[in-house]
Amino acid sequence: MSKQIPQGYKQTKLGIIPEDWEVVKLHKVAAITGGKRIPKGEFLTTEHTGFPYIRVTDMYMGGVNFESLLFVPKHVAPLIKNYRITSNDLFITVAGTLGIIGKIPNKLNNANLTENANKITVNYGSKNFIFFILSSNLIQTKIKSVSTNNAQPKLALEQIRNFIIPIPPIKEQEKIAEILTTWDDAIAKQEQLIEQKQVFKKGLMQQIFSQKRRFKDDNGNDYPVWQEQRLGEIADISTGQSNREDSSLIGKYTFFDRSQEIRTSDIYLFDGEAIIVAGEGQDFIPKYFIGKFDLHQRTYAIMNLKNLITKYLFYYIYMNRGYFFTQAVGSTVKSLRLPLFQKMPVMLPIIPEQNKIADFITLIDDGITKLSEELEQLKLQKKCLMQKLLTGQVRVRIL
């Protein structure tokens, strides 16, 4: 039984859309051209030459990160001057991480563009509308299939030119883009708020664990001086027995290895309150966990603490994980050995002050978690609204 088409709508290759919308290939409304690598034997520089060069590593969904920006040497700039991108254009990554879509900020107007991205110059309609179309599931699903089905995924220029997209009347394009931009602004503000809270938390933790900020007891008196002990004297430190091949995404118990990805296992090796630290990697960021879990053979669990609050030790290790970098062995992949854990110095206040420190930082963490949950809700709401607006399921009023 065929799906009934509502009045004012029509059936197209993209499904049911409003009658006054068109379905076209992207090249009908935009010009797509490639970027350019710098000539062989030449190298980008950190010197601010006035000729910024935007790489895929500088790009995120929506825009460009300035933190690690590199520049084209002045004598090279004339050789690739025809491969610049303006603030009126969009970019799309075509190699490495595919399908990152973004806008060029005014600060990078006329920057050079990597050969691993293409420039999209919209010549009909709203640039912002095209940005939202290209970042929607309609196009991102197609891009994901290219990434999945190819050993060395790459988006060909012709594939991008032939993306099929819906095109409303220009005034409606602009209104849809305006609405979605408002949501993006709200999401950006929430992300900034979370970042500010995280910076605030980091500053407080630095003061606390350097003992520049001390808590007092319930009578307003100072707590005793902190005592130094070795981690091996106050905790049991164990590695797991499992390999990543033993994990899955559908197991009953949490599985920990060096990955940030949440994996599971059908068995558990440990049961209790633990601090998890990967034995290999680049960051050695600890995790706090309570319950049954499985553990990779090169990942450490710190448990069964003696005269010590686990949450306090978790925050202490987080702030002092620089110790791991100074003690790790290996050049390419850093590895941690059990003896260095056992020798790690830990500064310990008495239990009541440990509790106050742990409760104080946990309260800040809970606030950040709540903000993060609100952020995810904003993103989900925007995604649902985006789907409805970009298919015409919900129409906007044009005054």
The answer to whether position 240 is within a domain reads: yes
Is 192 within the bounds of a domain? no
> pLDDT, tens digit, for every residue of 4-45?
899 999 999 999 999 999 999 999 999 999 999 999 999 999
Backbone angles phi, psi at 90, to 5 degrees: -110, 165
Which residue is associated with the tokens 């407080």? Answer: 204
In a domain? residue 127 = yes
Residues 113-130: b if buried by 16+ CB within 10 A, e if exposed: bbbbbbbbebeebbbbbb
Q: What is the mean pLDDT of the chain?
A: 94
Residue 375 lies in a domain: no
| Structure-token pair, residue 251 | 């197991």
Q: Is residue 270 part of a domain?
A: yes
From 144, 167, 190, the end of a domain falls on 167
Residue 70: φ, ψ to 5°: -110, 170
Residues contacting residue 365 through CB under 8 Å, at least 6 positions apart:
201
Q: Are residues 51 and 131 in the same domain?
A: yes
Query: Do 320 and 231 share a structural domain?
Result: yes
* 43 and 144 assigned to the same domain: yes
* pTM for this predicted structure: 0.85
Regarding whether 232 and 106 lie in a shared domain, the answer is: no
If asked whether residues 132 and 30 sit together in one domain, one would say yes
Would residue 13 count as lying in a domain? Answer: no
Q: Are residues 159 and 256 in the same domain?
A: no
Measured in whole angstroms, how far is the alpha carbon of residue 326 from the centre of its chain? 27
Q: Quick check: is 70 in a domain?
A: yes
Burial 52-86 (b: 16+ CB within 10 A, else e): bbbbbebbeeebbeeeebbbbbeebbeebeebbbe
Same-domain status, 39 and 156? yes
Element containing residue 63 per DSSP (H, E): strand 63-64
C-alpha to C-alpha distances, 83 to 8, 48, 119, nearest whole angstrom: 44, 19, 9
Number of other CB atoms surrounding residue 285 within 10 Å: 14
Both 43 and 148 in one domain: the answer is yes
Classify burial at 29, counting beta carbons within 10 Å of its beta carbon; exposed 0-12, middle 13-18, buried 19 or more: buried
When computed from its CA atoms, the radius of gyration of the chain, rounded to whole angstroms, is 27
Which residues pair with residue 253 across a beta bridge?
A: 265
Work out how many domains the chain is built from and give that number.
2
Domain boundary among 151, 167, 183: 167
Residue 297 belongs to what domain range? Answer: 227-348
Q: How far apart are CA 288 and CA 281, in angstroms?
A: 18
Q: Are 265 and 251 in contact (CB under 8 A)?
A: yes
Rounded to whole angstroms, the Cα distance separating 347 from 49 reads: 48
Last residue of a domain, one of 145, 167, 189: 167
* 56-65, 149-158, 241-250, range with greatest mean pLDDT: 56-65
Measured in whole angstroms, the distance separating CA 200 from the mean position of its chain's CA atoms is 20
Provide the CATH number for the domain around residue 255.
3.90.220.20
User: Percent of the chain at pLDDT above 90?
Assistant: 88
Asked if residue 235 is part of any domain, the answer here is: yes
Q: What is the pLDDT of residue 149?
A: 65
pLDDT digits (tens, 9 = 90+) for 168-220: 999 999 999 999 999 999 999 999 999 999 999 999 999 999 999 999 999 99
The conformational region for residue 210 under phi > 0 = left, psi -120 to 50 = alpha, else beta, is: alpha
Q: Which of 171, 308, 332 is nearest to 226 (CA)?
A: 308
Domain check: are 232 and 162 in the same one? no
Tens of pLDDT, residues 69-120: 999 999 999 999 999 999 999 999 999 899 999 999 999 999 999 999 999 9
Residue with tokens 């305006």: 178
Note whether 265 and 335 are same-domain residues. yes
67 shares its domain with 141: yes
pLDDT at 148: 65
pLDDT at 152 over 80: no
**Is residue 146 domain-shared with residue 35, that is, in the same domain?**
yes
pLDDT of 150 strictly over 70: no
User: What residue spans of 116-169 are helical by DSSP H?
Assistant: 127-134, 137-149, 157-161
